[in-house]
Amino acid sequence: MSLLPTFALDKITAQSGGYTEPVEYEVNLETGQLTGRKVKGKEAVRMWIWLCLHTERFRHPIYSWNYGTELEQYIGQTLTQEFLETDCQASVEEALMINPYINEIRDFQVTIEENKLLISFTAVTKFGEVEVETKV
């Protein structure tokens, strides 16, 4: 008999994929307000991506320094389209690839519209492809 308590733990197997399904609070993508609902799987990853893109890195002490993007630096700057796409894509990929459910970012495009960045791409996740188009 052991002096330490024992617990029956559910084992994660290769058959189950080795990960749990993500759960996030839903955000109205037009207003940025929480709806109060919880979403799972692919929609949860979409919510995580949206929030990550709209969180400026190093600004909010509640978040890890690994979370968020550094996109505000491009607003109001005179940049070539090639530089903007290359640098923004690197920044977005660095921010999003920390999520274990995201495998790849592809078809990345960015333009400046009305003092905001219009970003669109496809995120390949463990739950399928997520099309993202947002103004940051």
| pLDDT tens-digit map of 6-50 | 555 444 443 455 668 888 888 888 888 889 899 999 999 999 999
Q: According to CATH, what is the number of the domain 21-135?
A: 3.10.450.40
Phi, psi of 58 (to 5 degrees): 70, 0
CA-CA distance, 131 to 136, in Å (whole number)? 16
Per DSSP, what are the bridge partners of residue 133? 120
The H or E element that residue 121 is part of is strand 116-125
For 39-86, write each residue's pLDDT tens digit.
Answer: 999 999 999 999 989 888 877 777 777 788 888 877 777 777 888 888
Residue 70 has a pLDDT of 80
- The model carries a pTM of 0.77
pLDDT score, position 58: 76
